Amino acid sequence: MADREDIAKLIASYHNPPNKLRSWQEINARYKLTLENYKKICFTSGDVRDQKIATHAEIKTLGWVLGKPDKDVIKDINDYSNRPMFPTQLQK
């Protein structure tokens, strides 16, 4: 009997998913917020490599969801980081 109840709950959860799909505006706002968080992480001192990697991955994923080309996402990340850009690194 318990198995049938569990199956019924599982089927009901598929009909009423706990998470709703996000709108383009919400994803874009999250993308910009994550870029700001990345900037804060870049300018902090200490060992923040893991946070930086996780935030970088989130930015790349949100950029992919927004349909941005990888080149534009990398440019946005570089604009918000404290890494110096040299003229030879600029892509045309």
pLDDT digits (tens, 9 = 90+) for 18-52: 666 678 999 999 999 999 999 888 888 788 888 98
Whole-angstrom CA distances from 35 to 8, 49, 58 are 42, 16, 9
Query: What pLDDT, on the 0 to 100 scale, is given for residue 5?
Result: 77
The mean of the pLDDT values for the chain is 81
Query: What pLDDT, on the 0 to 100 scale, is given for residue 33?
Result: 93
Which token pair is 67?
A: 């349909």
Distance in angstroms (rounded) separating the CA atoms of residues 39 and 68: 20
Residue 82 has pLDDT above 80, yes or no: no
Is residue 37 classed exposed, middle or buried when 0-12, 13-18 and 19+ CB atoms within 10 A define those classes?
middle
